[in-house]
Amino acid sequence: MAATRFSEETRKRVLATAKMLRYRPNRAAQMMRRRRSNLLGIVHFGAGIEAAHKVNQQLAQEAHTVGFDYLSLDMNWYGGSVERTLGELIQARVEGVLISHIQEHFEEKHVAELQHRDIPVVFVNGERRKNVSLICDNIPGAFSQLTAHLLALGHRRILQILPAVGPGVNSGSLRTFGDRKRGFAAGISAVGQWREISEDGFSMDVFESGEVVGITVSQNPRSYERMEWPVYHFLKRLCASGSLPDAVVCSNDAHAVQAIMAAQELGLSVPQDFAVTGYDNDQMGAFPALGITTAEQDTKNICATAVRSFLERRNDPHLPAVIQTFDSELILRTSCGRETALTL
């Protein structure tokens, strides 16, 4: 056993005194002694979104597993947020930064500022950026499989609702939205025809051919300005028209709930009148009243790989950036017609 500088009795007295005086270690002093902060920055947006929250929690757990503390910063959409976040990260002398879900706001100039200070950056479940590693879910694969499942159940007229991102931004240019569209389009194109139509130009007439047809509807940015349940309102208008698709592919489980609520308010039933799928496997989707068919991200492996990628780049800053994807697991439930919830 290694020798200690103080006796056990002295150690206990020191700890008791520190507790009485409410002593807190000085991180700045610790950094000077160790010449490192042992601090990993986790920057995220959407702490109220279950899928993002699960990733943030897992990232923190993985950081602790490799012996790091973490600084968690929840951003917003407003001007100057990125600059303020960068300032906090630099002032805290973090040894690396994991950016979760909000990479469209972190431009190359922001990443370059961190990298210039020898702070490695890894993106988690967000956008692609030059010279930055991205660890993420395989969105196209999941949406292609969800679409194939609907087709296997006999659905021929399938509608995908793609959310708007905001004024001046094309959702298709973002990986998280564009990959949803690409996955759906690939699943449809294998056996039928796929088209993309704006919300203003959409009509159920596009399904009149009788063939397998998949339509991606890109919603209006103004539908999202006040967060007023845009999928719910769109589906409610569609249900009231009396003409329905066979199935609706939603971007996530929260939107799938909006679609189901719109149907129920008009006396319709899911999946008897139309089927619904989501994505992310939120807890609420497992309730029998909803039974949302969805897909679960491999959050643990995504986060563990992201932390490992940070460590590799801290040890060797010249490592090339990589993109690594992980397949999601299909969760089949009653919203597509299955009698009981079943996991593939």
Domain-located, residue 246: yes
Domain-located, residue 339: yes
Q: Is there a single domain that holds both residue 84 and residue 23?
A: yes
Please give the pLDDT value at position 189: 95
Q: Is there a single domain that holds both residue 123 and residue 145?
A: no
Lowest mean pLDDT among 40-49, 117-126, 174-183, 315-324: 40-49
CATH number at residue 122: 3.40.50.2300
CA distance 261 to 263: 5
Residue from 51, 37, 130 nearest 90 by CA: 37
Domain-located, residue 230: yes
Task: Identify the top-confidence range among 49-63, 160-174, 215-229.
Answer: 49-63
Query: For residues 83 and 302, which has the higher predicted lDDT (pLDDT)?
Result: 302
Q: Is there a single domain that holds both residue 149 and residue 81?
A: no
Please give the pLDDT value at position 45: 73
Per-residue H/E/C for 82-132: HHHHHHHHHHCCCCEEEEECCCCCCCHHHHHHHHHCCCCEEEECCCCCCCC
Domain-located, residue 310: no
Q: Is there a single domain that holds both residue 208 and residue 86?
A: no
Bridge pairing between strands 193-198 and 213-218: parallel
Q: Is there a single domain that holds both residue 162 and residue 181?
A: yes
First to last CA, the chain: 52
Domain-located, residue 202: yes
Average pLDDT, the chain: 84
Is pLDDT of 103 > 50? yes
Q: Is there a single domain that holds both residue 151 and residue 204?
A: yes
Lowest mean pLDDT among 72-81, 145-154, 191-200, 215-224: 72-81
Q: Is there a single domain that holds both residue 151 and residue 107?
A: no
What's the pLDDT tens digit per position in 212-251?
899 999 887 655 544 578 899 899 888 888 889 999 999 9
User: Could you say which of 75, 99, 131 is where a domain stops?
Assistant: 131
Domain-located, residue 321: no
Please give the pLDDT value at position 341: 40
Average pLDDT over residues 263-271: 92
Is pLDDT of 38 > 70? yes
Please give the pLDDT value at position 227: 54
Q: Are 251 and 281 in contact (CB under 8 A)?
A: no
Please give the pLDDT value at position 193: 93
Please give the pLDDT value at position 296: 96
Please give the pLDDT value at position 47: 61
Q: Is there a single domain that holds both residue 223 and residue 85?
A: no
Q: Are 125 and 280 in contact (CB under 8 A)?
A: no
User: Could you say which of 108, 131, 154 is where a domain stops?
Assistant: 131
Q: Is there a single domain that holds both residue 268 and residue 235?
A: yes
User: Could you say which of 131, 159, 179 is where a domain stops?
Assistant: 131
Confidence of residue 1 (pLDDT cuts 50, 70, 90): very low
Residue 158 sits at the vertex; the CA angle it makes with 344 and 285, to the nearest 5 degrees, is 45
Q: Is there a single domain that holds both residue 172 and residue 70?
A: no
Average pLDDT over residues 55-76: 90
Please give the pLDDT value at position 199: 87
Task: For CA atoms 65, 68, 69, 71, give the dihedral sign.
Answer: negative
Q: Is there a single domain that holds both residue 117 and residue 156?
A: no
Residues present in the chain in total: 344
Lowest mean pLDDT among 85-94, 103-112, 183-192: 103-112
Q: How far is Cα of residue 148 from the mean position of the Cα atoms in its chain? A: 22
Range of the domain at 53: 10-131
Q: Is there a single domain that holds both residue 126 and residue 162?
A: no
